Structure 1
Amino acid sequence: MNTSKYKYLFVNIGLFAVNAITTKLLSFILMPIYTIYLATKDYGIMDMSIVVINFIFPLATAMINGGVLRFGIEDQKHIKFYATDGLLITLASCAVVGALLPLLKLSFFGSLGSYALLFFISYLTSCFPNYFGILCRVVNEIKIIPVASLITAFSMLSTTYYFIVYKHMGIIGYFYSYIISNIISTVIYLLGAKLYKYFSLKSVYRNWHLQGPLLKYSIPLAPNAVCDVLGLTFSRFILTSSLGINASGLYAAASKVPNLMSIFQQVFNQAWQISSFQEYKKKDINSFYSIIWKGYCAVLFLGCSIVISIIDPLSNILLHNEFYSAKKYIPILCFGFLFGAASGFFGSIYQTFLKTRPLLIQSLVGAGITVICTWLLVPYIGIAGAVIAVALGNSVMLIIRIIDSRRLIPFNLALPTCLTSLGLILIQAVIATMNTPTTNWISVACLLMILLLQSLNLYPSIKIFITNKKV
């Protein structure tokens, strides 16, 4: 077995891990500051601004990031065209967002409309680090990404302490620290990776014929990306309009704990996209996907099980004052996260094979279920309804993608092991939500069983990798 592609993937995972861990560690550190120094209303506004930016960014940019990454890696000859075209569309998105600012006055955005200018500047300064991070992956300047992340994290932490803790500026202080940190990140990417040398208007003019295929691939990714966050976004809107901005703040606080698991998902997806785009034409692609899938599942299941097992100490650290009541929503959020993370793996298959339309349809189905269930459940069971709706939407989308993607790459899914592990985590989540006297014992027992199952499932692949035998 040729192990070079696995080593390349692992090296990239290591580099992206520094970036993701830094980002999530920063969130971990800032969480107590926010919950101590911000009121639930301010925290809800802060979270709403992040949710709205994540919602409108893919639409306003036509998800050009995805197209630049996919085509840029495969067609290095025209890298200046893809880099410049992506930058121009990103710039145009700022004008689109500026024109839509009056919509922030609508009731389901809470009080975000009162901070429209700061919100716009936040979007303006955040979209460029996002794009430049993608471009660094295309031009193989990945090493600058963790450097930029570390410096930006230090900036965010220091400015947050200054504006919120020292100056007591509340939500205004959050916006200031966010904007300053994004500006610093942009400068680091431009100068540190010398990205400016890839921008050329002449290249766009001379290679205009490449615009069609690029947009044909990218445009379906935009609503797809929106659908991926629609459940989260719609939950915020429904909670805010039905129960008030405080409920949205509690839901956001509960989401921070399971989001710790997204460290691995973010790291893996960034590295996996590069490897998948480079390797999909090779003969042993099925074996490659099978081995990576087993490892991915092992980390997902064990990570989720561990997080549920230590919910009490995590909640004591992260959730303070009135936010502590959000603890009861964490287990099911963790369970729902599993479906979304696994669905993302199968989503990468469609991007690799340039099949973005089926990806969009599947995401629409999953988001539609999330929206309908949220609308039906929240008025009756409150925040718990939004939590359950996200899990249902993600699970349906995953099932559809598993079935449909078999026509592209029929790799080994190890379903018995995956389904058994999933059932054990469901037991953990339900027991943890009920908070019975035996919760801890049952949770640990489930964790040990999952560890055993995943170890047995991974053993053949690890043995082959170590001995370097042919699959």
Structure 2
Amino acid sequence: ENTMMIYVFVLMSSMRSLCSQFVRAKGYVKLYAIDGLLSTATTIFFNVLYLVVLKWGINGYMLAMISADTLSTLFLFYVAGLRRYLHIRGLNLSTSREMLRYSIPMIPNSIFWWVNNMASRYMIAYFMGEEYNGLFAVAYKIPTIIVLMSNIFMDAWQMSAVSDSPDKRASFFTRVFLFYQSLICTAASGLILFSKVITMILVSDSFYESWKYIPLLLLSTIFSCMSTFLGSVYMVEKKSMLNFITTGIGAVINVVLNFLFIPIFGVNGAAFATFLSYFVVFVLRVIDTRRFIPMHFHPMRLTFNTLVLLAQAFIMIFEVKGWIFFELILTVLMVVANMSALLATVAQLLLKRRPHPQHHEE
């Protein structure tokens, strides 16, 4: 009975996305940010109105989302004057074909990415039952901290990647990737160290056991984020088919390894299968993207970071005697190894923001 409302919800969500991305692409960054704040405020307002005051239940929740997206669409459309860009006579078949060639492979790519993220849960439920699936789902919430950091970074990064001049892209991608992997690996190292404490604070006692699955899920998230970063190369070069192919290979590997590992290793078998699938996607993209942008991946640093995180994961999972000491040492090593890259990028950003001295002629 909610089908029609779902259609309207998807329509208005898509319209808001279209308007906000167009505004962002036109360089109206402040308007884009203001819309984000207003959209959050109106979503909260309509949820309170429809759910708490009027008590409309699930229909109220969907209407709240529809109302907020509709207001956001109208706000962006009129404030940014998007009507100026609507010209029926401006439809161009060659441009439309080019857009479709780019867009259509992104649909199965999104499906395969969903398979990579969700296949483990269905197979854990099948092999081990809903109780373990619930623990796995709770454990997955901690790596979303890394995903949140990555999404904020990628929002800013993708615009820079597209607008940067082709002759400078290799050095630009290299610098950004070095900072990006240093940032998320250091964050993951800290989260592994405090995984027990975080779980104790954030979840109920009945789900405390979920901490055992956090370390390997953090590793899989790291390589998922770095694979997404390299997907930016395909975006810049408009090679969406390669994006789809590499993601598809990862999804197939994930499903196969889940079937093999879960019966033997349990829930952590699923986490390890997910890690390996994302690792394969990352390696494939490292090899392939160099054809388009010959960036340097700093393999020694990347190998060191991966080995440290793997060591932390297994020390934590098996609760090796004196594990706190080993975890602290490895986290400090991770911070020391990556601090120079992080500080260099922060210093560069601060220098760019510093106003240039004014020169006055006498």
TM-score band, normalised by the shorter chain?
0.7 to 0.9
Tell me by how many angstroms 1:203 deviates.
3.1
- Alpha-carbon distance between aligned partners in 1 of 2:184 and 2:239, rounded to the nearest angstrom: 26
- Alpha-carbon distance between aligned partners in 2 of 1:442 and 1:455, rounded to the nearest angstrom: 20
Among 20, 26, 32, the alignment partner of 1:139 is 26
Q: Amino acid of the residue matched to residue 143 of structure 2? A: P
Q: Amino acid of the residue matched to residue 308 of structure 1? A: I
Tell me by how many angstroms 1:220 deviates.
1.6
Q: Using a 3 Å threshold, how does the CA distance of structure 1 residues 459 and 245 change in structure 2: closer, same or farther?
A: closer
Q: Using a 3 Å threshold, how does the CA distance of structure 1 residues 285 and 221 change in structure 2: closer, same or farther?
A: same
Among 114, 119, 138, the alignment partner of 1:234 is 119
Which residues in structure 2 correspond to 1:357-396 (within 5 Å)? 357-396=241-280
Equivalent residue number for residue 141 of structure 2: 256
Which stretch of structure 1 is more off in the superposition, 181-190 or 251-260? Answer: 181-190
Secondary structure at 1:256 match in 2: coil
Q: Using a 3 Å threshold, how does the CA distance of structure 1 residues 121 and 328 change in structure 2: closer, same or farther?
A: farther
Q: Using a 3 Å threshold, how does the CA distance of structure 1 residues 218 and 430 change in structure 2: closer, same or farther?
A: same
Equivalent residue number for residue 270 of structure 1: 155
Which stretch of structure 1 is more off in the superposition, 345-354 or 134-143? Answer: 134-143
Q: Using a 3 Å threshold, how does the CA distance of structure 1 residues 186 and 430 change in structure 2: closer, same or farther?
A: farther
Tell me by how many angstroms 1:175 deviates.
7.1
Among 190, 193, 218, the alignment partner of 1:334 is 218
Q: Using a 3 Å threshold, how does the CA distance of structure 1 residues 298 and 123 change in structure 2: closer, same or farther?
A: same
Tell me by how many angstroms 1:204 deviates.
6.3
Equivalent residue number for residue 336 of structure 2: 452
TM normalised by structure 2 equals 0.83
Q: Using a 3 Å threshold, how does the CA distance of structure 1 residues 349 and 202 change in structure 2: closer, same or farther?
A: same
Equivalent residue number for residue 295 of structure 1: 179
Q: Using a 3 Å threshold, how does the CA distance of structure 1 residues 203 and 291 change in structure 2: closer, same or farther?
A: same
Among 195, 213, 218, the alignment partner of 1:311 is 195
Among 82, 85, 89, the alignment partner of 1:197 is 82
Among 409, 433, 436, the alignment partner of 2:293 is 409
- Alpha-carbon distance between aligned partners in 2 of 1:257 and 1:435, rounded to the nearest angstrom: 19
Count residues with an aligned counterpart.
Answer: 350
Secondary structure at 1:284 match in 2: helix
Tell me by how many angstroms 1:306 deviates.
1.5
Which stretch of structure 1 is more off in the superposition, 342-351 or 235-244? Answer: 235-244
TM normalised by structure 1 equals 0.65
Where do 5+ consecutive residues of structure 2 fail to align?
353-362
Equivalent residue number for residue 76 of structure 1: none
Q: Using a 3 Å threshold, how does the CA distance of structure 1 residues 466 and 319 change in structure 2: closer, same or farther?
A: closer
Equivalent residue number for residue 345 of structure 1: 229
Which residues in structure 2 correspond to 1:69-88 (within 5 Å)? none
- Alpha-carbon distance between aligned partners in 2 of 1:181 and 1:375, rounded to the nearest angstrom: 38
Where do 5+ consecutive residues of structure 1 fail to align?
1-113
- Alpha-carbon distance between aligned partners in 2 of 1:460 and 1:125, rounded to the nearest angstrom: 42
- Alpha-carbon distance between aligned partners in 1 of 2:44 and 2:127, rounded to the nearest angstrom: 34
8 Å contact 1:235–1:374 — kept in the other structure?
yes
- Alpha-carbon distance between aligned partners in 2 of 1:465 and 1:146, rounded to the nearest angstrom: 20
Report % sequence identity: 22
